[in-house]
Every structure is written in structure tokens, then in C-alpha cells.
Structure 1
Amino acid sequence: MQIGERLKVAHVLSGSVRRMGDQVRVTAQLVDARAGYQVWSETYDRTLEDIFAIQDQIAGEVTAQLSVRLLGGAPRVRETEPEAYTRYLQARHIGRQNTAEGLEQAVALFREALAIDPAYPPAWTDLATIYFNRVGFALMPREEGYRLAREAAYRALAVDPDFAPAHDRLGWLALHEDDDLEAAARHYRRALALAPYDDRIRGNAAVLAVALGRLDEAIALLEASAVFDPVSPISHANLANAYLLAGRYRAGERSIRSALALSPQYAGAHYRLGRLLLAQGDVEGARGAFEAETLDAGRQLGRALIANVEGDLAASDAALAEIEAAFGDRAAGNYAQVYAHRGDLDAAFEWLAVEYRTSAVSGFLEHRWDPIFEPLRGDRRWSALMQRIGFDDDRLAAIDFPATEALAWRDLPPG
């Protein structure tokens, strides 16, 4: 079956859910993706209050049918009120599309779920993720967004101190807001120890691996996430970004196109596609991708890069002026990218200095490896800046973060 080849799996579990009032009918079937025949199927007629028991039962029966050795046993669902769970699932689906409107709607739905059941940790940690993404796309002030995300993560830990996603979100905050790589490594080690096969945690841990300069480990983690969650646009977009940083542009293009196929309005994805195409010399393809970007800042950045390539510095400056009018110094790192791309090293270093003075150093996590800054790396000012920030090689090498332990699944025998 084509679906098995595309997802790189031997079996596919599919099903449907029909609801009428408080009654639900869940139909599930397990199909051999290689031969195309049905291995197992079952229909469950239950009330909404039994929905979590149904999920546990399906997981157990599928495990038995496959006769596989699961890592840690069959997964169990964390229970909550049915209405809270409904809103939680809606919020998670909408939030994964990573559109400006979807992120705003997801916040409201997660808040509704938590109003029903404030002791439901998954809603708190997923809400924290939405705040991260809204900050990342300049849809809310950084200080406010990270404050709310931190509060949400700690609310989850107050309910369950061993809830791995909460440690994951605190690792993200340590990395992007607190500028504390060592603390981030501690949080991610804890999260991976509690849930080594959680795709989202692996994906976020890969960001730390990038920061530490361990790009091969980062790519391995993100490839695992994309394999285990092939319908997540976020998994493919994160993998594309890692490929870009590693200079693997064709692979990055394939991944970002997969993200866009799943979420055509994914914020930032068309800009990333434009970067990848431009790196391969496809100027017209890059132009089209940049113009399709849903974020104004990404669209203007793309125009500035295209103008650089075409030698139209006036047009490049005009695009930068549009961004500066809207974002001011908050986009200092983006201005530095454009100036580095055009070869104006002095201006690039000036804007990097502004970014260092006015923002957390998290932006430099990717700057350090981004090919667009290659013209700066031979300049002594670059090594001096990295040293001042604390990204010197000796410090990074000393940080204990064995991310590859989360890839142990690759060494397990089949069946």
C-alpha cells in the first residue's frame, strides 16, 4: 500500500468516531500496509465517560495483534472530563497548523478545557507550547508569552512532578529565555529519561543539540520525530530547519514541502522554503516562496534577500525599512542576516551587537550555524562575539547531553 511506503510503517491503524449526545461509536481497524489485508477490527459503543478506557483497550488489543515488544508497555491515556478532552483535542489540532489565527483559537480552547479540569497536565503543557509559538512569530510580547508559558509548565508539574512534557517546556524556557544551556540540558535529560520515545520532546531536545553544535544528533532526533509522527507539520518543519543549518538544502526542501502539504498556511514555512531554494540557486522559485509567506516580516525578509541577489540594494533597504517600522530592534538578528548575505560585514556586526544588547541570546543558537552568516565567520569579531555570549567551543563540549540515548529504538530487533 502506498500509505505504508510513504509513512515507512508495516501496519496502519485507522478508525472513526461518531458522537450523538453522550454516546460514541468508535471503529478501529489494523491493516497490514504491505499486503493490504485487514489484521483486526472492532467497534465500540460507549458513553463519553468511557472514552479513555476505549483508547487503552484499543492500544492493548493492537499490541496483542502485532505481538510486538513495546517500549515501556502499551501507552495509557491520562484521563480528564470528556468535555475538557474534547476542547483539548480541538485546541491541539488547530494549534498544530501553526497559523496566526489557529494559535489564537488554540489558546482559547485550552483555557476552556482547563476551566473544566485545571488538574489536566497535557492541556497546561500544550498551552505553554502555543505561547512559545506565538512569541516566535511575534504575535505577542516575548516577556508576556514566556511568563505565561512558565506558569503553565509549573501548573502541570504541581499536578504531576514526573510529567515529562513539563520538564521539556522548562528546558525550552531555559534555552530561549534564560540563556542557560546547562539548565536546559538538565531539563531535557530529565524529560528524555521519563519519556524517551515522545516525539515532541525529541524534537525540542534536537534544538538544544543544534545549540551545542551537534547537528548530526539533532537531525537524527528530528528524523525520528518525523517518522513517528509523519502527519505533524511541525516535525517536518523542524527537520527542514536542521537540514538548512547543516547545509543539506535538497533534503531540507523535501521536508519543508511535506510541512506545507500538511499545513499550507504554516507560518514561516514559505520563508524557509525560499531560503532553501535560494541556497540551491533557484532565485525564481525562492521569489515565489517568499511571496507566499503568511508572515509579513518573513515576506519582507525574502524580498530583501532576492534584491541582494539581483544587486538592487535600494529595494533591499526598502524591505528592511518595512520590517524596522513594524518591529524595530526586535528584528535585529534578521537585519544582520540580510547584511551578511549582501556582504556588508560592518552593518551585520552592528545589528548583531544590537540583538545582543536588546534580546535574549537565544537567537544566536541558530546564528552560530546558519550558512547565511558564513561571510562573518572568518572575521575575528565573530569569534569574539561568540566568546562574549558564552558559545565558546570548550563550554559547549563540556555540557552533558547524551541526546542519542533517545534513539535507542533504532537498535531494537524487529517484532
Structure 2
Amino acid sequence: VLEGSVRKAGNRVRVTAQLIEARSDVHMWSETYERELDDVFAIQDDIAREVVTVLQIQLLGEVPLVAETDPEAYSLYLEGKHLFFNAEREDTRAAVDALRRALAIDPDYAPAWAALGRVQRARANWGEIDLREGTEEGRQAVLRALELDDTLADAWAGLARIQWVYDWDWDRAAGTVKTALMHGPNDAQALWTAATIAMTQGHLDAALDYGQRALQVDPLDPFVLRSVALIHLQRDEFALSQQVFEKLRELYPDREGSHINVAYLLVMQGRPEEALAVAAADSSELMRNLVGAMALHELKRYEEADRSLQYVIDHAADWLAYQVAEIYAQRGEADAAFEWLETAVALRDGGITYLIVDQLLDSLHADPRWEALLLKVGLLDAWRALQATGQGDAS
């Protein structure tokens, strides 16, 4: 485990780092660096080299250098990433502002462009900004990052996510994520993206491997944590899934939707009363109603369930169409489910990427409209391949 602390006084910074062997708690190495703030990137490079030397790691090349920029731009870049992790609407807007301020200081700082692309694409997917416009802004940001640094794994991963979640260009996205992993085999964003793509194709062993490696690199990234929890859920490893979801809730208790993940898992386990109790703590009324539409129906409280579903439709039909389809499928209302899936396709809803592994849609598989839908979005071959190898591990 690499631990560290930073103290700043004026334009000087003191960084203390130590490497500890986790099992024995033995200190393997420690060092204190005291430099001008302008030298913060050199300190990062020095620490990386020292750790590699101490551990006698054999790398496939030199230790990658940290991309340098103005210290104030770097501070704003880190602030933007931190705000994005909170995932509240005000925080995501503030994240965009911080990243744009960083780029105003250093318009050639590729990591900030990659981060801006990630934030804008996520905001578009969450319905905070127009889906098409937000996605295209995100695409242009990651392409700008790659113009500045075509070895930046984070940017390649961001491009792969857009190609996968919005373009539905499955083959190109798979190729792009391979490029991301080539440039950054230990990059958390590249590994997380690879995990998500593998999971949504039903390659669950590969997905779990990528996801666990991403967690080792960045155990605090809420998106990585959620993906690993979903992978465990797909593998019917409910206890492990809940463990990771609870960790996410512990780290980000005020993050919109953090309680909903656990509630969703409880619904999947047939524990609707517990799901409602957990969902009640979430800050988002929309998310509470999303869970309520499923859990209340399971409890045969049909009028309340219908009110919750109508709330979701009234407030988020343009970006939660896929989830509405899931709810109707769970209820056994196939016609309504397919109607909303067609709406999701028309809206380029990112939920479509989960079609062939989504357990809530199992009731639709025998319907002839199912394969017609998969053909429309280019997933029919992947679906048939998954069925041929067995649902649950097509890796």
C-alpha cells in the first residue's frame, strides 16, 4: 500500500510518501520531498520510480511520466474530478466549470480535456443536458485530448465509451478499448471501460478481472465500484455485489442514487420491503420512485406502484425510457415493455447496451419481437453467441 500526505505553505509543498507491505505492516520505503509547487509533477515521477525500484517491478517500458501543466490548472483539474465523483447536479456543473477554468489556463492540457469529455458525456446520459449535444461535446473533448496526446489511455477509454454507449458501434468500441489498454494497461479508466464492455456482452470472467484490476488502481472511483457490483450481480454473487454497493454508499453517502443501487439489488433478490426502506434514504425523489415502481408492485400495492411509475414517466421519460421498459417487463406487460424499448432505441438510450444481459428482461426472450429488436441495434449475433455458450459466462 502506498500512503502519503501533502502539506502546502505558500508556494512550497511537502509530500511524504511511504510504501507498506499490507500483510505484515512492514515499512518498505519512505521519503519526504519539499519542493516549490511548480515541481509537483517531478515529485510524482520520483515517487513512481522509487516504488518501482523498491518492488523490483518489471515494466513493459519506462515508468510513464505525469503530464505537466500549470499548478493552478492541475488543482482545478483535480477539483473537477472530485466534484464529478459526488454526482450531484450542482457538483457536476461545478466540475465542468473547474475543468473549463483549468483549460483556460492551459488549453493544451490533455488530461483535462479527457476529464471534460467524461463529465459532459455522463451529464448527457443522466438527462442533465441534451443527450446528442452533450455527447458530441464529450466526443470533441476526448478527440482534442488525443490530438494533444495520442498515448493518453483515459482519452481512448472515453472515446470507446461514447462509441459503445451512444454510437452502438460495437466492433469499433472494442477496438478502441484495446488501444486504451495498450497505452495504459494499468489505467483505471481503460480497465473500467473494458470491464463494462465485457459485462454487457456477457463475458463475465473477463469483466470481473478488468473490474478488480481497475479497483486496485483506483478504489475510490464510484463508477468503477458500481460496475464491479453489477458484474457480481450478473454472476449471481449477491453477497459480493451488496458488499461493493455498500462500500459505494459508505464512501459517497450523499451521492444521488447511492442508496438506490442497494435497493435495486434487494428487488432483484425478492426483498421488496427492504428495498423500499433503503431507497427512502436516497436524496433523489426520481430514483426513489424508480425503485418504488418495482418494489411496490412486488408487494401487490399496485396503485402505489402505478403512481411511482407515472412519476418516473412524467419526470424522466426522455432519459429513463429503458428503465421504464424494465419495469413493464418485470410486471409481465410485454407490449408496454417493447413499446418503451423502441422509445429507448429512438432516444439512443445508453441502457440498450445492457439488453442481452439484463435479467429484468428475461420474460421478453421468447417473444418474436425480441430478436427483431436485437437485430435493429446490431446485437443479435452477440445474443445468439451468448446463448450458445451459456448465459453467465461467455468469456
Q: Contact conserved, 2:272 with 2:296, CA < 8 A, in 1?
A: no
Pairs within 5 Å for 1:45-194: 45-194=34-183
For 1:394 and 1:20, the matched residues in 2 are separated by 56
For 2:270 and 2:190, the matched residues in 1 are separated by 34
Residue matched to 1:384 = 372
Instruction: Kindly tell me the number of residue pairs found equivalent between the two proteins.
Output: 386
Q: Contact conserved, 1:243 with 1:252, CA < 8 A, in 2?
A: yes
Q: Secondary structure at the match of 2:5?
A: strand
Cα displacement (A) at 1:152: 0.6
Inter-CA distance 36–290: structure 2 relative to 1 (3 Å threshold): same
Q: Deviations for 1:275-308, whole angstroms, at most 9, x for unmatched residues? A: 1112223222211222223333221111111111
Residue matched to 1:402 = none
Residue matched to 1:4 = none
Cα displacement (A) at 1:68: 2.6
Q: Contact conserved, 2:163 with 2:173, CA < 8 A, in 1?
A: yes
Q: Secondary structure at the match of 2:317?
A: helix
Q: Secondary structure at the match of 2:14?
A: strand
For 1:188 and 1:128, the matched residues in 2 are separated by 16
Pairs within 5 Å for 1:387-402: 387-393=375-381
Inter-CA distance 236–52: structure 2 relative to 1 (3 Å threshold): same
Residue matched to 1:7 = none
Residue matched to 1:256 = 245
Pairs within 5 Å for 1:4-403: 12-356=1-345, 358-360=346-348, 362-393=350-381
Inter-CA distance 86–314: structure 2 relative to 1 (3 Å threshold): same
Q: Deviations for 1:359-408, whole angstroms, at most 9, x for unmatched residues? A: 1164221132111111111222212221232211268869xxxxxxxxxx
Which moved further from structure 2: 37-46 or 165-174?
Answer: 37-46
Q: What letter corresponds to residue 368 of structure 1 in structure 2?
A: I
Which moved further from structure 2: 219-228 or 75-84?
Answer: 219-228
Q: What letter corresponds to residue 383 of structure 1 in structure 2?
A: E
Cα displacement (A) at 1:249: 2.3
For 1:329 and 1:142, the matched residues in 2 are separated by 9
Q: Secondary structure at the match of 1:368?
A: helix
Q: Contact conserved, 2:322 with 2:349, CA < 8 A, in 1?
A: no
Cα displacement (A) at 1:326: 1.5
Q: Contact conserved, 1:232 with 1:262, CA < 8 A, in 2?
A: no
For 2:4 and 2:171, the matched residues in 1 are separated by 43
For 1:180 and 1:351, the matched residues in 2 are separated by 22
Q: Could you list the structure 1 runs, at least 4 aligned residues long, displaced by more than 6 angstroms after superposition.
A: none
For 1:289 and 1:132, the matched residues in 2 are separated by 29
Cα displacement (A) at 1:80: 0.6
Inter-CA distance 71–260: structure 2 relative to 1 (3 Å threshold): farther
Q: Contact conserved, 1:210 with 1:365, CA < 8 A, in 2?
A: no
Q: Contact conserved, 1:234 with 1:259, CA < 8 A, in 2?
A: no
For 1:54 and 1:331, the matched residues in 2 are separated by 45
Q: Contact conserved, 1:336 with 1:347, CA < 8 A, in 2?
A: yes
Which moved further from structure 2: 276-285 or 389-398?
Answer: 389-398
Percent of aligned pairs with the same amino acid: 35
Q: What letter corresponds to residue 88 of structure 1 in structure 2?
A: Y
Q: What letter corresponds to residue 385 of structure 1 in structure 2?
A: L
Cα displacement (A) at 1:32: 2.6
For 2:357 and 2:81, the matched residues in 1 are separated by 31
For 2:155 and 2:28, the matched residues in 1 are separated by 37
Cα displacement (A) at 1:15: 1.7
What runs of 5+ residues in structure 1 fail to find an aligned partner?
Answer: 1-11, 399-415
For 2:368 and 2:214, the matched residues in 1 are separated by 38
Cα displacement (A) at 1:47: 0.5
For 1:127 and 1:151, the matched residues in 2 are separated by 10
For 2:278 and 2:132, the matched residues in 1 are separated by 31
For 1:266 and 1:71, the matched residues in 2 are separated by 38
For 1:76 and 1:177, the matched residues in 2 are separated by 32
Q: What letter corresponds to residue 152 of structure 1 in structure 2?
A: A
For 1:330 and 1:262, the matched residues in 2 are separated by 26
Cα displacement (A) at 1:202: 1.0
Q: Contact conserved, 1:94 with 1:105, CA < 8 A, in 2?
A: yes
Q: Contact conserved, 2:188 with 2:217, CA < 8 A, in 1?
A: yes
What runs of 5+ residues in structure 2 fail to find an aligned partner?
Answer: 387-395
